[in-house]
A and B are shown apart, each in its own frame.
Chain A
Amino acid sequence: MTSKSSIVRILLRLYPAAWRREYGLELEDLLMTRALGPSTVADVAFNALRQRVRHASPATLYGLTVMSVIFLLLTWNIVAPPATGDGLAAVLRDSPMTLPTIAIAPLTSYYYLLLVAAVTSRMASRHDVSPSQSGMDGIRICAIASLPIVMAGVLMLLGILHVEVLRAGQSPTTFAQHGFTYTFYDSGNHEFSPIAVLIAPMFRILESWMWGTIGGAFGRRGRVRESQPAK
């Protein structure tokens, strides 16, 4: 296999499977007959991204939205740490439970659970999906939304992202003083650990599945009611 054909295959893999099935061969022929310059590669890759967004399910798009919010809050914490442990930017909090020892504030809020239920309900009201598929959509939202937390955990483990643990009465330092550091408020329940940050999203998976299933059940009931003929 030539290097050009492998580049073309990689570029085609960037497109969604449904799109590839319909237009994949056509694009492959077109790319094989043309010179593959950086601008062509960039153009094809950018269009692949556009097609990914167009073909993405609402669960993926909402997952990406929550992920962006969590990423912004983490950045906010690093740049301007909150004065108290209750602030919006205090994404990671000391959990009052045995496990997980770290709670991810945006994913434990009622707004997040309502969002999962609302999205899966809307999806089930429009398409014929089973309860388990709605639950899987809930898991997908959680998995995508948790990516910045996993990334932060890995950076903490590698020692790239430092952590400043503050206890009651201590005030945070500024970005100029602490640099690339996450400020964590310790409530005294558990010792802070980067591994706990890394595994914290796993504890949200089952709850996301449950709310996804519940939302899906409501959406399906609405669709069945609408499809019944009026008496």
Chain B
Amino acid sequence: MNSSCPVPASSVNRERRGLVWLVGSFVICPCHLPITLAVAATVFSGTAVGAVISGHPYIAGIVISLAWLAGTWRGVYYLRSTATKS
């Protein structure tokens, strides 16, 4: 059986993860929600996701806003844990 113990992420790794989460959150920030929705609708055009975005923009907006909030929280969590450990 392949049993492996989880390797704790180093401080640098956590910092990098935090930065990636925050930069990613910037991309989907609801400040530019119409642009995000337009880009998402274009990228996913012809697919079921594209149809959902075009047909239900408010639900798509709420989902993107929640994802942004969760991503920001995750990024801040990683960076805070780095600051506490250093």
Same complex for A and B? Answer yes
Are B30 and A132 closer than 8 Å at their CB atoms? no
Beta-carbon contact of A98 and B22 below 8 Å: no
| B interface bracket (residues with beta carbon within 8 Å of A) | 20 to 34
Chain A 198-211: CB-based contact to B (< 8 A → 1; otherwise 0): 00001101100110
The CA-CA distance from A132 to B83 in the complex, in Å, is: 8
Please, what's the 1-or-0 string for A123-136, where 1 marks a CB less than 8 Å from any CB in chain B? Answer: 00000001111011
Q: Mark A90-118, 1 if CB is under 8 A from B, else 0.
A: 00000001111000000000000000000
The docked-state distance in angstroms from the alpha carbon of A202 to that of B33 is 15
Please tell me if B69 contacts chain A, counting CB pairs below 8 Å.
yes
- The answer to whether A132 and B31 have CB atoms under 8 Å apart is no
Given A98-B31, A202-B72, A206-B29, 20 extra CB contacts under 8 A? A97-B31, A98-B33, A98-B34, A99-B33, A99-B65, A100-B31, A130-B86, A131-B19, A132-B82, A133-B82, A136-B79, A136-B80, A136-B83, A202-B69, A203-B29, A205-B72, A205-B76, A206-B22, A206-B26, A206-B72
The CA of A8 and the CA of B7, in the complex, are separated in Å by 40
B80 neighbours in A (Cβ, 8 Å): 136
Chain A residue contacts of B33, Cβ below 8 A: 98-99
A contacts, CB < 8 Å to B: 97-100, 130-133, 135-136, 139, 202-203, 205-206, 209-210
Most buried by A among B26, B33, B65, B76: B76
Chain A residues closer than 8 Å to B83, beta-carbon distance: 132-133, 136
* 0/1 interface trace, chain B 65-76, chain A, CB 8 Å (1 if under): 100010010001
